[in-house]
Structure 1
Amino acid sequence: MKTISVKLSEDTRSRLERIAAEEGTTPHALMVSAIEGELERREKRSSFYQDAMQARAEMIASGKAYDGKEMIAYLRARARGESPAKPKLKSLKTLMQRKP
């Protein structure tokens, strides 16, 4: 395992040591856990963004999408335990011409 040096302010170092002691761990273990957690969070965010961009590209390519108001009503009904019919895909052109 390679070593990396991190310079911390006195305040940050004090907080790190205090929290590590409270949790019964070492400052090193707390830093490793925090870094791993942040990296995982950022990787998930990046993956979510890439999935969204892919879905957007597919929607534009197909020229079809769900009406937002219909989808919200559908999801609310599902949340109430109902079994509504799933909204139908509509032409993007039609949806874009609709008045708000």
Structure 2
Amino acid sequence: MFPSRLSKQVAAKAFLATILLSALAGLAGAQIAPQVPLQMVLLYSAAGAVLAFTVLVIATVAVLTLMQFILRKGGTDPQWFWFSAEPPGLVQLRQQASRGTVSKAPEH
């Protein structure tokens, strides 16, 4: 699967927003600790933002990977819980999989 250009733009915007919000928090922090130079406060807040952004990305990838694993192992998508039955054809696919007669589509 190829990463889309949109996802890179969204990631860049999220990263920039995180940095700008941390700079704003750093400016507020400079008022709390006036003896610390502004450059150091901004540096610490940027480092904290990078750390927070990295943790957020890792957590997002981990959760999405787990959800994908659950779906691949036969779990039901949580959005289907709103409906009274399984998605159309899922019961037949599960029966075929248990019998070993599922034909896989060719991957591109």
> Shorter-normalised TM-score: what interval?
0.3 to 0.5
Structure (1 or 2) with the larger CA radius of gyration = 1
TM-score, normalising length from structure 2?
A: 0.43
Greater fraction of residues in helix? 2
Q: Scaled by the length of structure 1, what TM-score is found?
A: 0.46
